[in-house]
Structure 1
Amino acid sequence: MTQQTDQERPGIAAAVIVQDGCVLMVHRRVAEGELSWQFPAGKIKQGESPEQAAVRETEEEIGLTVGALKLLAGRVHPMTGRRMFYVACEAVSGTATVAAPDEVAELAWVRRREITEYVPYGLFEPVQKYLDVALPGTAD
């Protein structure tokens, strides 16, 4: 049996969903190191774009139908070593709820000033820059 290298493992797509002055975060049942609160995310399937994966994973994990707005950025995550893609999304229909309780313990709509309480090590710079614009006037 051969080990997959990081380049061969499927990438992960994360949906950055902003609504009503908040960004959606999910609390994982199983943390990856320090990562317990994060954006809805999951593996990109073969033949799928990061945008398609972010939309699909959001529906599967939290029952919210979203539309992809744009790919914000990609990187190899410094804590997990996984290829990550961050996709700005907008809510289209439904209500965010825990739809995959085996993966997600809870969710929260987080104001900009509260992000560091959920992600104390800070957000990836392109994601933070997007939220600085998408969540105007909510820093205090």
Structure 2
Amino acid sequence: MTQRNADERPDVAAAVVVNEGRVLMVRRRVSEGRLSWQFPAGEVEPGEEREDAAVRETREETGLTVAAVKPLGERVHPKTGRLMSYTACEVVDGTAHVADTEELAELAWVAHAEIPQYVPYGLFEAVREYLDATLPS
């Protein structure tokens, strides 16, 4: 675990949820820089594991119950400067909808070929490799 100064913002955990050949993306009401569409994500709470935060944020934002499958990697996000962790998740129960109407404007299940329309600046390499291997082309 990296030591953090009190004035640093918490790490962010993102869930890469694949179901029926598509990946779940959400659009925030307020963009963070050029970021508009992204994976369900949020701040890791004190004492919380990154994978657990990704699962919790997905439930809070989309109403879906998911299970962490495996960590995909982490990086300092080039647009936000925040430490991001990415976790592959699978759907356990529920139907995705905008559950957190204050934070999200909409969501979409995105096919592999459509990802560049949602994320034109490209995906983190570890996430891209996972989706290339998991989603039908």
Alignment of 1:1-140 (within 5 A): 4=7, 8-135=8-135, 138-139=136-137
**Percent identity over the alignment?**
63
Question: What SS does the aligned partner of 2:117 have?
Answer: helix
Name the TM-score, length of structure 2 as normaliser.
0.94
The TM-score normalised by the length of structure 1 is 0.92
**Compared CA separation, residues 3 and 69, structure 1 to 2 (3 A):** closer
Tell me how far apart the structure 1 counterparts of residues 36 and 102 of structure 2 sit (CA, whole Å).
Answer: 14
1:33, CA displacement in angstroms?
0.6
- Structure 2 unaligned segments of length 5 or more: list them: none
Give the distance between the partners of 1:82 and 1:69, measured in 2 at CA. 23
4+ residue runs over 3 A deviation: none
The 1:49/1:111 distance shift into structure 2, 3 A limit, reads same
Aligned length: 133
User: Which whole-Å deviations, capped at 9, do the CAs of 1:1-52 have from their partners, x for residues lacking one?
Assistant: x971xxx321000000001110000000000011000000000000101100
Q: Please state whether the residue corresponding to 1:115 is helix, strand or coil.
A: helix
Distance 1:134 1:17 in 2: 11
How far apart, in 2, do the equivalents of 1:19 and 1:60 lie?
18
- RMSD (Å), alpha carbons: 1.2
Give the 3-state SS of the residue equivalent to 1:129 in structure 2: helix
Q: Which runs of 5+ in 1 are unaligned?
A: none
